[in-house]
Amino acid sequence: MPRVLVVDDSVVMRDIVRAHLAGLGLDLDFAASGEDALSRLSNGPPVDLVITDYAMPGMDGMTLARKVKEKSGTLPIKIVLISANKELRERDLLGTGLLDAFFPKPIDGSQLAARVSALLALSVQSPVVPSSRRARAAIRVVVADDTEVGRTLLARILKVDPEIEVVGMARDGQGAVDLAVRENPQLILLDALMPGLDGVAATRRIMALAPTRVVIVSDQQGGRPAAQIFAATEAGALDVISRPGWGDPMGPQAVALREKIKMLSEVPVVRRWSDAPRSVRSRRGVRPSSFQRATVISICASTGGPAAIAALLPGLAPVASSVPILIVQHVLAGFDEALAEWLTEVTGLQVRLATHGMPLRAGTVLLAPEGRHLLAQSPNTIAVVEGPPVGGHRPSGTPLFESVARHFADGALGVMLTGMGTDGVEGLRAIKAAGGSVVVQSPDSCIVSGMPGAAIARGYADSVLSLDEMAPEIVERVRAPARSRH
């Protein structure tokens, strides 16, 4: 599997490039600066291609390209430069001999995917998602918002893309339900806070009458409104996105929103987990005596994660007082505290937002704060650090998993839940190397199977279980007898 490193100081642009390359079968990694990229090239697995922004704080893209070429020796790494600088000329840039391709922003996704395929000599059978989208019918989207301003803003952003068709706009939750039944859209953008039938109730009714991909749009932060948003994910909403500002419909926020819609439109429609029986099924015949005792539980999740965590934690109650539980969940800015409060309310466990220097002890369930990495600083202390994003994420599951591997060795248990991308997968490698164990949610039970699928593909999973099977096995791993070290 070809490995590609995407370098950009903008999270939005990293997500856009990720979306354009999503169908090529690549192993994608991400860096937030030239310095971060060089560190990953020196200390990580071999890289076949680097896609880098030109203008970044510190080292610019051309300087990075020169250093990469110097380091790559007889097997030069391919380099693609992207830039919004209108004064840059492709002929001049390619004439330096440092670059293999140049793309101006906004990026044409199909051209980027085609060029990357050519540079890496990918098989023609590899699915190129961006180009295939042009040949299919437009993605049918319903917009639901109780304000005319909100509806107009979203419709304006969506309508500039010929691959997206706004087939209806609703001013309340009941209108969204009616449009879901009548128009059969592929995706509904739904405001969480509307009079009458709110986002939670509307999502629940849509999933019952006309199961559809629901994405919650919010500009609310903190308090009960934010908690209500997470309740909508438990009811069946796929994800939560920030409402873009008016700005330019071709600006990075707008582009990122459209690309997110395109990615989520390909996610299979899954009814909420609570519709399925929660009874424990047989767990593939693994005997408790074969388990290594887990002394810490570390969890990573992304898209679909809040509902998955809410379903998992109650099953861990029998051992919640015996081990610390550490959680990384990718969440919108300003919603981390609300997520902790909501998880406390719906799971019956006390979930707290982690702070730097907190004791790390049994009986604590700690959630990584937005914009900071959560680490085990020692076997007894928590660290919460800003640090550079890892693979485009902060918080990221990789530093959490690496830290518990370092301090808990074979007692480290990594749990990978639903999520888009590959965050946390490299950290699972550290847990396995330390003798710890890894439990992965089965892809067929995930809202988005990217992260669990990547963990399985790399051979890191000790157990692959559906969501309702995971808690009983984790409990058995915590209760397993300690192995002799002699």
Q: Which residues contact 136 (CB under 8 A, 6 or more apart)?
A: none
- How are beta strands 381-385 and 373-378 bridged, if at all? antiparallel
Q: Is 330 a catalytic residue?
A: yes
Chain centroid to CA 367: how far? 16
Marked catalytic residue, from 423, 437, 445, 462: 423
User: Tokens 């989520």 map to which residue?
Assistant: 264
Q: Which residues contact 366 (CB under 8 A, 6 or more apart)?
A: 324, 325, 326, 327, 351, 352, 353, 354, 358, 374, 382
Task: Report the C-alpha gap between 225 and 395 in whole angstroms.
Answer: 23
Q: Is 145 a catalytic residue?
A: no
User: Tokens 């963990």 map to which residue?
Assistant: 455
Task: Report the C-alpha gap between 28 and 50 in whole angstroms.
Answer: 10
Q: Is 302 a catalytic residue?
A: yes
Task: Report the C-alpha gap between 106 and 200 in whole angstroms.
Answer: 35
Q: Which residues contact 75 (CB under 8 A, 6 or more apart)?
A: none
User: Tokens 């950290």 map to which residue?
Assistant: 427
Angle, CA of 22, 311 and 283, to the nearest 5° = 85
Task: Report the C-alpha gap between 64 and 77 in whole angstroms.
Answer: 12
Marked catalytic residue, from 302, 437, 449, 463: 302
Marked catalytic residue, from 48, 53, 198, 330: 330
Provide the annotated active-site residues.
302, 330, 423
